[in-house]
Amino acid sequence: MKTFRAIGLTLLFLLTTLSSSGAAEADLRAIIAKFATAADFSETGVIVRELTATGDPAVERPLAALAEGNLYIRAADSMVFVGKEGSDSIQLFDPLSGEAAGEASADDLTQVGVNNTLRRTIRDALGTLTLGSKDPTVRIAAANTMFKTPDAANIEPLDAAIASETVASVKALLEQARAASILVSDKPDADKLVAIALIGARGDRDAVSLLTSVEANASGAVKEAATAAIASINSTLALWDAGQNIWYGISLGSVLLLAAIGLAITFGVMGVINMAHGEMVMLGAYTTFVVQQVIRASFPDLFDWSLVIALPLAFLVAALVGLAIERGIIRFLYGRPLETLLATWGVSLILQQAVRTIFGPTNQEVGNPSWMSGSFDIGQLAITWNRLWILVFALAVFAVLLYVMKRTPWGLQMRAVTANRRMAASMGIKTPWVDALTFALGSGIAGIAGVALSQIDNVSPNLGRGYIIDSFMVVVFGGVGNLWGTLVGAFSLGIVNKFLEPYAGAVLGKIVVLVLIILFIQKRPRGLFALKGRAVEA
Amino acid sequence: MRGNFAKITKILSAGVVAAGLLASASAKAAEDTIKVGILHSLSGTMAISETTLKDVMLMLIDEQNAKGGLLGKKLEAVVVDPASNWPLFAEKARELISKDKVAAVFGCWTSVSRKSVLPVFSELDNILFYPVQYEGEESERNVFYTGAAPNQQAIPAVDYLMSADGGSVKRWVLEGTDYVYPRTTNKILEAYLKSKGVPAEDIMVNYTPFGFSDWQTEVSAIKKFGSAGKKTAVVSTVNGDANVPFYKELGNQGIKAEDIPVMAFSVGEEELAGLDTKPLVGHLAAWNYFESVNTPENKKFIADWHKFIKNNKRTTNDPMEAHYIGFNMWVKAVQKAGTTDPDKVIDAMVGVSVPNLTGGYSTMMPNHHITKPVLIGEIQANGQFQTVSKTPGLVMGDEWSDYLPDSKDLISDWRAPLSCGNFNVKTGKCGGKGTN
């Protein structure tokens, strides 16, 4: 261990002395200047490798800039700069020192082209160079990169890094990266067997990927060990896969719940077949878009709050449109389901075309706030933040709605009108007023569903179309007029769908679910949780 | 129930169309004009893509009129709205030809809409310019295909991925929407990959329904397939609206272009406009045109487009270029024939050559497909593509794929004396077998 540390320290010492010496810097500049004459990607790649071969940490800045597409050549003097795009010009910085070097218009600069292969080369190179970084997350990234791209030459720097590493979790990753590199080196088999055990313990897909390629190239004991390790990882992963399917199902269920819950009120409670329900969802999504546009233009700092701000507005917009539809059309059609269906279908077409005329037919970009981007791992389970938040949100909306229906006077009136309209009217409840507000509530809920769906689907005039059939399916399956039925219906449809998908494929899976629902409705025409009562028959 | 539904849709869409017609009729200019039909959906699911093509046609017709029209007459656009309803495409095409007496029609996007209008065009003998990349396996006398055939998009794209520059891909996921274009294209690609020595277990084919929005299972399956120690890439024929949630899921699950690149055939600048492209930098698309192409012709085209549409943010895309080429070819052929009579124009079209927007010339071939360069682009953070590869020369559209057993012996040549769209070179007879 001591010798390792000594080697590491000497290496570090050497690196620092190298970078501080003037001659080395001049060498680096000479190499960087060659970017100006590179004719294609492979020539740029040669320069990148030349730069990384110097082992000088100073090359991180130009390489990182190149990977991001921020390395520019000034046409006038073929000088290479790191550029940062400003509002109407590009600010220039020295590629090595990072000092500001004036600015230039985009027309006077040529970007150094970069493609995937180059980006990968740079990422691998930066992995080795950033092993000594002070930031543990950078070291973790470096270790992961080196794990995925093992190279016998990595063993030495990794040994040095392991020796000086203080954080245990990072150290474990570095040791795995070292093990990966040992497998591709010409070290004795004994070392390789130890390495395989270490990698097998990691137990994720990257480990399988690495071991599969080792298995293909090795022979004897190493090959056997690799085969055994792959088999054991795969059997654990199969369990995780089942967990993943359940999670995907729950996540799909939460989306279905959000889309259907407003319909559970308008269709389930009021009995109105509202074909324009999907368009309420779309209006909610467009409200989010407008809110984000305003925020981007005037208050860019508030962007992470855009969804929270959009929620009440989307509710209001959709609720008002819903109110207008109820007062203007639906109230004349109560008790005539076919006419209601056709009229609301017409309304949905009008709303779609109106949005198309105002916002144009193309998709609108609704950004993801930072807290809704990316994913995190639980074991081998990757959970994306946006799906998790949508699940939480769907359950919250459900809870609030349940509270309103069961615990508030308004909810009581709503249920009274549904159960027996004439009796409720005799008791002094203004039934038309309750109808209008209930419809507005259902539409408003659809509006806030639109806010959530804008995060996973595209915001276009057709957004609602994709959800209307599924929503009706959930409500009918769960049992008309029962909020709990909608909840159970949404999640069971979601989970069944996601369990079928890997085996049957998305297309067949959907058909199978549809057939199952038809069969189920034959058996239980009122759905999972049938509402009991005299009014139901009417 | 179903009948009522269809009826109502029809009545409503007819109403919308009627309103559109009234608007265009009121703008009717002098009596002696040459009418040009525009058959693109302005409502319904396909409006997202097709409305732009209607606008670009209006712009091209305006420009031609500013240059003095054609054969001394002004051009007049007749716009109809088939409302993303396939049978309505045929009705509207018939209306354009028999009632409005248009000299040529520019239109259609989906293959099914094209298939639905084909009989109308051959029966009434008129011309259709079809501007979208498609699955091939077709060559009609009355249709000119200005979009890419599979060998002008799919095959060069796969070649690029197999090259060292593209990452020497060894394992392939063919992901598509479940309809005729992806199914045929994937059939061709599978045959092509196998002919290049890719074993069957290294190819995964998967289809999803139209407008699919829950990509979790598919994306994690891609991740799993990609962790077999071989370089993996996805070739995506996913269509339209389904792309945005697909790319969002890719970004969220952390699939980076450096690890598993996605090569798309239906994702252009227009689709990217609805997305935050920062997590997608490096994913690829294969087209014959990118807005970012730096040529004087393209710069002028973009400037004209922004001026016409009065919005500097509207993007341009590949099918727009196809209409640009198609329209200019038609103008040239009409001038060459000295008449707008479709029969004479069809004969005059073959061999017509006009500048395209990527700095070269496109020529109409005897099989009614055109020559085009093939560009591979990587998505950039600003929503544009950066060209990373361009075929050295022009690629000629191959209507009958050489990689499908049913069509490999077929050729098409609409010049006299052969004048046949599916001539079988083995049997020496016209009327061979096609897959569709």
We report the CATH number of the domain holding residue A345 as 1.10.3470
Block residue for tokens 């809920």:
A445
Residue whose token pair is 């129930």: B1
Q: Could you tell me if residue A314 is inside a domain?
A: yes
pLDDT higher than 50, residue B206: yes
Q: Which of B254, B284, B386 sits opposite A375 (nearest CB)?
A: B254
List chain B residues with CB under 8 Å of A352. 43
Same domain for A126 and A142: no
List of residues 6+ apart from A166 with CB closer than 8 A:
none
Nearest to A501 among B167, B217, B275 (CB): B217
* pLDDT tier at A97, thresholds 50, 70, 90: confident
Which of A111, A117, A459 has the highest number of chain B CBs within 10 A, making it the mutation to test binding with B? A117
Residue B128 has pLDDT above 50, yes or no: yes
Residue A487 in tokens: 């909840």
- Quick one: A194 and A117 in the same domain? no
Are β-strands A375-378 and A381-384 bridged in parallel, bridged antiparallel, or unpaired? antiparallel
- Hey, is the C-beta of B213 within 8 angstroms of any chain A C-beta? yes
Residue by residue, DSSP assigns B181-197 as: HHHHHHHHHHHHHHHTT
Q: Give yes or no for residue A259 having a pLDDT over 80.
A: yes
CB < 8 Å to B178, chain A:
507
Report the pLDDT averaged over residues A91-106. 84
Q: Determine whether the interchain pair B4/A342 forms a contact, defined as Cβ–Cβ distance below 8 Å.
A: yes
How high is the pLDDT of residue B8?
52
Sequential DSSP letters for B67-109: TT-BTTBEEEEEEE--TT-HHHHHHHHHIIIIIS--SEEEE--
pLDDT band for position A10 (cuts 50, 70, 90): low
pLDDT per residue as tens digits for the range A315-353: 999 999 999 999 999 999 988 889 999 999 999 999 999
pLDDT the model gives residue B313: 85
| Chain A residues whose beta carbon lies within 8 Å of the beta carbon of residue B52 | 361-362
Across B158-184, average pLDDT: 92
Mean residue pLDDT across chain A: 86
Restricting to B residues 61-120, those with a Cβ less than 8 Å away from any Cβ of A are none
Section A393-404 average pLDDT: 94
Strands of B128-130's sheet in order across:
B74-80, B33-39, B104-107, B128-130, B143-145
Strands B128-130, B104-107: pairing is parallel
Whether the CB of B254 is below 8 Å from some CB of chain A: the reply is: yes
Which of A257, A286, A363, A377 best tests the B interface by mutation, with the highest count of B CBs <10 A? A363
C-alpha distances in Å from residue B344, one per residue of A392, B126, B338, B410? 66, 11, 9, 26
Lowest model confidence (mean pLDDT) among A280-294, A371-385, A513-527, B189-203: A371-385
CB proximity A337 to B under 8 Å: no
> Average pLDDT in the A237-245 region?
89
Checking ipTM against 0.90, whether it exceeds it is no
Q: Does A529 touch chain B (CB under 8 A)?
A: no
Same domain, A20 and A121: yes
What pLDDT, on a 0 to 100 scale, did the predictor assign at position B31?
Answer: 57
Q: Are residues A177 and A251 in the same domain?
A: no
> Whose CA is closest to A55, among A126, A118, A6?
A126
Other beta carbons less than 10 A from residue A469's beta carbon:
11
pLDDT at B54: 96
Domain enclosing residue A404, as ranges: 241-537
A28-32, A102-106, B181-185, range with the lowest pLDDT: A102-106
Q: Residue A44: closest CA among chain B residues belongs to which residue?
A: B165
A109-157 pLDDT, tens digit per residue, is 888 888 888 888 888 888 777 887 888 888 888 888 888 888 888 888 8
Residue of B nearest to A374 (CA): B252
* β B385-390/B395-396 pair status: unpaired
Residues 289 through 348 of chain B touching chain A, CB cutoff 8 Å: none
DSSP A55-70: --GGGHHHHHHHHTT-
pLDDT value of residue B29? 44
With CB atoms and an 8 Å threshold, state whether B220 touches A382.
Answer: yes
Say if the Cβ atoms of B43 and A465 lie within 8 Å: no
Residue A368 touches partner B, C-beta closer than 8 Å: yes
Distance CA B302, CA B292 (A): 10
CB proximity B18 to A under 8 Å: no
Nearest CA in chain A to B164: A117
The secondary structure element, H or E, covering residue B355 is: strand B353-355
Handedness of CA A137, A140, A146, A147 (dihedral sign): negative
C-alpha distance from A462 to closest chain B C-alpha (Å):
6
Which CATH superfamily does the domain covering B2-148+296-371 fall into? Response regulator (3.40.50.2300)
Q: Are residues A249 and A371 in the same domain?
A: yes
Q: Do A212 and B229 touch (CB under 8 A)?
A: yes
Tell me the nearest-neighbour CA distance from A371 into chain B, angstroms: 12
Cα nearest neighbour of B4 on chain A: A342
Q: Please name the member of B261, B270, B274 whose beta carbon is closest to the beta carbon of A364.
A: B274
- In sequence order, the β-bridge partners of residue B287 are B375
Measured CA to CA, the distance from residue A105 to residue A89 in angstroms comes to 5
**Helices and strands per DSSP (H, E), number in chain A:** 21, 7
Is A234 inside a domain boundary? Answer: no
Instruction: Quote the minimal CA–CA distance from B373 to chain A in Å.
Output: 19
State the Cα–Cα distance between residues A463 and A448, nearest whole angstrom. Answer: 14
Of B226, B252, B261, the CB nearest to A116: B261
Mean pLDDT in residue range B123-133: 95
* % of chain A surpassing 70 pLDDT: 94
Of A244, A252, A349, which has the smallest distance from its Cβ to B220's Cβ? A244
A224 within some domain: no
Contact residues, chain B, for A342 at CB < 8 Å: 4, 8
Contact B282 A115 (CB under 8 A): yes
The total number of structural domains in chain A stands at 3
A197 and A282 together in one domain: no
Write out pLDDT tens, residues B316-341: 999 999 999 999 999 999 999 999 99
Which of B212, B214, B241 to mutate against chain A (most A CBs within 10 Å)?
A: B214
Whether A410 contacts chain B with CB within 8 A: no
Compute and round to an integer the Cα radius of gyration of chain A.
31
pLDDT in tens, A260-306: 999 988 887 788 899 999 999 999 999 999 999 999 999 888 899 99
Using CA coordinates, name the residue in chain B closest to A206.
Answer: B227
Angstroms from A329 CA to nearest CA on chain B: 17
Does A412 share its domain with A465?
yes
CB atoms within 10 A of CB A49: 12
The reply to whether B151-293+374-396 shares the fold of B2-148+296-371 is: yes
- Position A19 confidence tier, pLDDT thresholds 50, 70, 90: very low
Could A342 and B258 be called an inter-chain contact, meaning their C-beta atoms sit closer than 8 Å? Answer: no
Taking phi first (over 0 means left), then psi (-120 to 50 degrees means alpha), and beta for anything else, what does residue B368 get?
A: left
CA distance A517 to A523: 10
**Closest residue of chain A to B3, computed from CA coordinates:** A342
Contact A212/B at CB under 8 A: yes
Dump pLDDT digits (tens) for A469-488.
899 999 989 887 788 999 99
Name the CATH superfamily housing domain B151-293+374-396: Response regulator (3.40.50.2300)
Contact A353/B at CB under 8 A: yes
| Residues B406-435: tens digit of each pLDDT | 888 888 999 888 888 888 888 888 876 544
Last residue of a domain, one of A89, A115, A132: A132
Alpha helices for B310-399 (secondary structure H): 318-337, 342-349
**In angstroms, what separates the C-alpha of B100 from chain A's closest C-alpha?**
26
A367 in contact with chain B, both atoms CB, cutoff 8 A: yes
Q: What is the model's pLDDT at position B14?
A: 52
CA angle A202, A205, A209 (to 5 degrees): 100
For residue A147, give Cα distances in angstroms to A184, A189, A267, A511. Answer: 11, 19, 55, 42
Cβ–Cβ below 8 Å for A116 and B166: yes
Same domain, A118 and A251: no
Give yes or no: residues A350 and A442 share one domain. yes
- The pLDDT mean for chain B works out to 88
Same domain? For A191 and A101 the reply is no
| Structural domain includes residue A226 | no
Q: Which pLDDT band, with edges at 50, 70 and 90, does A221 fall under?
A: confident
Please indicate whether, in this complex, the C-beta atoms of A458 and B8 are within 8 angstroms of each other.
Answer: no
Asked if B218's CB is within 8 angstroms of A120's CB, the reply is no
- Spatial CB neighbours of B77, under 8 Å, sequence gap ≥ 6: B24, B35, B36, B38, B57, B58, B61
Structure tokens at A32: 């960087």
Do A167 and A69 share a structural domain?
no
The closest alpha carbon to B133, from B320, B406, B390, B412, belongs to B320
| Per-residue pLDDT reduced to its tens digit, B210-225 | 888 889 999 999 998 9
Q: Does B417 touch chain A (CB under 8 A)?
A: no
Q: Considering only the beta carbons, identify the residue of A342, A346, A384 that sits closest to B252.
A: A384
Q: What is the pLDDT of residues B281-298, one digit of tens each?
A: 999 999 999 999 989 999
- Report domain extents, chain B: 2-148+296-371, 151-293+374-396
**CA distance readout (Å), B140 to B130, B364, B414:** 11, 14, 9
pLDDT of A532 over the 70 cut: no
Rounded-to-integer distance, Cα A430 and Cα A448, Å: 27
Cβ-based contacts of A209 with chain B (< 8 Å): 226-229
**Nearest chain A CA: its distance from B325 CA (Å):** 23
Q: Is B384 within 8 Å of chain A by CB?
A: no
* Tokens (6 digits) for A327: 């007062």
Say whether residue A365 is in contact with chain B using an 8 A CB cutoff.
yes
Chain A 76-135, CB below 8 Å of chain B: which residues?
A: 113, 115-117, 119-120, 123
Q: How close B411 gets to chain A, by Cα (Å)?
A: 35
Q: Are residues A78 and A145 in the same domain?
A: no
Q: Tell me: pLDDT of A314 over 90.
A: yes
Chain B interface includes A382 (CB < 8 A): yes
Residues in A touching B229 (Cβ below 8 Å): 209-213, 216
